[in-house]
Amino acid sequence: MTHPTAASTAKRPRLALGLLAGGQFLVVLNASSVNLALPDMNRDLHLTNALSVWVVSAYLLTFGGLLLLGGKLGDLVGRRRLLLIGAALFGVASLAAAAAPAGQVLVVARLIQGAAAAALAPTALSLLTTSFPDPRERRRAIGIWGAVASSGGAAGVLIGGTLTTVWGWRAVLALNVPIAAVILVLAPFALLPSIRAARLRLNVWTTALSFIGISAVIAGLTLGGEQDWLTPVPLAIIAVGVLALALFAWAERRAKNPLIPLHLLKRWPAVGGDIAILAAGFSLYPAMLVISLVLQTELQFSPIEAGLMLLPLSGATVVMALLTPRLIARWGSVRPTALGLTALTLSTGGIVVTIGFGSPVAALIPVVVLFGASLGLSITSATTLALSGASPQEAGAASGLLQTAQQMGGAIGVTVVSTVSAAVAQNLTGNGSPALDLGRAIGLAATAAVTLVGLAFALLGFANKSRQRTESEPDAVRSNVDRLKQPAV
């Protein structure tokens, strides 16, 4: 991010930007579009409740578990090559899912989709950073990427609902095939072959531990929300995941070729950006889930109507994400990140209050618009921060770490909301929907509190690093360094 002499990896930067943003849209779209198609899938394929849950969770399981590997592989085998492999695999898996004759086939196809997405997402983001060596153009490109990444979930609700209503659930999955085909055809014309990092090697031991740890935590959280947290199976799976992650951290410190370059975990503001994106995930995914449920179950909107109601959220996200690069150029990345997370916490609190008072549409719309604007600001600026400490050769690993943090935050946040809402609804028997709404509101309030804690932790880290730098630099040198460094952040 701060290497202006690095050569661009794009033949045609504008076309490359469109393709890479399209790849990110494809990844985010499939995390939410299938939700509205689930009732039709259940009816046509006679899915059990357990299998129905895994149609959604299988994608998130392999996606979250393999993101670190996907980022590292791009640095090892070449990012353009991995982008093409990921797009091809995603298209084939989507075609298999769309034609699935049984639920088991559908779940396996979704697992492969998630693995392909783990190759696509960090590779697209790392290619984006290396395709625009100029800091101003890079900030603008990340702003467009942030708009796509932040608004894709809401767009997925609209697209999934529309396609399911008009053409059926198979169309939701078949839509991925032409998008993947466009990436496959145009990427060689838009992107140069990436230079592989010849000295790097893949550490199989740490790679296996990272996948087992992350995927086990996600699987345990999913089973806990589906069954009962008092049963031993979810707790045992989560314990295995936590143990694997602890072993992963221990092995990484001793590995000659770590999956995550260790200096990325020590260098601020990159660490602050990862913390900020983790905190944003705690509010982003649970709030989107709760809003979708309230619109369809409490307000009785059809899938298409629910998607249209979320259009203001998407619009506010896109506009703010496109404006954020100007704020970063003027203030640096730290202030917009802090402002975005603060607004995200406040708007999530607004959603909590709105749901608690019966979800009136007149009150929900302005809160949702503020929520969308805060998403665009916080995710775009936090992404810029998180990638600021990586060299062009490490952009893939940094991108994988960033997106893993966001997915883990979202997975835990969704579990918190689901668990709390179910517990409150069970304890307040006889109250029906009001009890469920109260549970959702309490769970969402808890995730907003975690977002606020993450913001405080990041700001303390920034303040500490700034104080250390101030004490170690002479006054005249410090003023010149600060003046030169700020626009490049």
Of 35, 443, 415, which is closest to residue 217 (Cα–Cα)?
415
**Domain positions in the chain:** 11-194, 203-256, 265-489
pTM: 0.81
* Residue 481 pLDDT: 38
Of 35-49, 69-83, 95-109, 419-433, the range with the highest mean pLDDT is 95-109
Determine the straight-line distance between the first and last CA of the chain, rounded to whole angstroms: 8
* Residue 85 pLDDT: 93
Q: Let me know how long the chain is.
A: 489
Encode pLDDT of 192-241 as tens digits. Answer: 876 665 556 777 888 889 999 988 888 888 777 666 666 788 889 989 99
For residues 301-311, average pLDDT: 76
Residue with tokens 């396609």: 163
Query: Is 476 a residue whose pLDDT tops 50?
Result: no
Query: Is 80 a residue whose pLDDT tops 60?
Result: yes
Query: Is 477 a residue whose pLDDT tops 50?
Result: no
Residue with tokens 């804690």: 453
* Residue 333 pLDDT: 84
Encode pLDDT of 234-264 as tens digits. Answer: 889 989 999 999 999 898 888 777 888 777 7
386, 359 contact by CB (below 8 A) = no
Residue 275 corresponds to which tokens in the numbers above? 């913390």
The CA-based dihedral angle spanning residues 436, 441, 443, 444, taken in that order and rounded to the nearest 10 degrees? 140
Q: Which CATH superfamily is domain 11-194 in?
A: MFS general substrate transporter like domains (1.20.1250.20)
Q: Which CATH architecture has domain 265-489?
A: Up-down Bundle (1.20)
Query: Is 90 a residue whose pLDDT tops 90?
Result: yes
Residue 144 corresponds to which tokens in the numbers above? 């467009």
Asked if the domains at 11-194 and 265-489 fall in one CATH topology, the answer is yes
Sequence-distant (≥ 6) Cβ neighbours of residue 55 within 8 angstroms: 34, 38, 41, 47, 103, 106, 107, 110
Query: Is 60 a residue whose pLDDT tops 90?
Result: no
Encode pLDDT of 270-282 as tens digits. Answer: 788 888 889 988 8
Confidence at 321, pLDDT banded by 50, 70, 90 = confident
Q: Cα(119)–Cα(70) distance, rounded to whole angstroms? A: 4
The amino acid that residue 94 corresponds to is S
Encode pLDDT of 350-386 as tens digits. Answer: 888 888 776 566 778 888 899 989 988 998 888 888 8
Q: Cα(6)–Cα(3) distance, rounded to whole angstroms? A: 6
Helix, strand, coil share (%) of the chain residues, nearest 5:
85, 0, 15
Q: Cα(267)–Cα(290) distance, rounded to whole angstroms? A: 36
- 3-class secondary structure, 325: helix
Q: Cα(165)–Cα(37) distance, rounded to whole angstroms? A: 9
C-alpha 77: how far from its chain's center?
A: 24
CB neighbour class for 207 (10 Å; exposed up to 12, middle 13-18, buried from 19): middle
Q: Cα(377)–Cα(33) distance, rounded to whole angstroms? A: 24
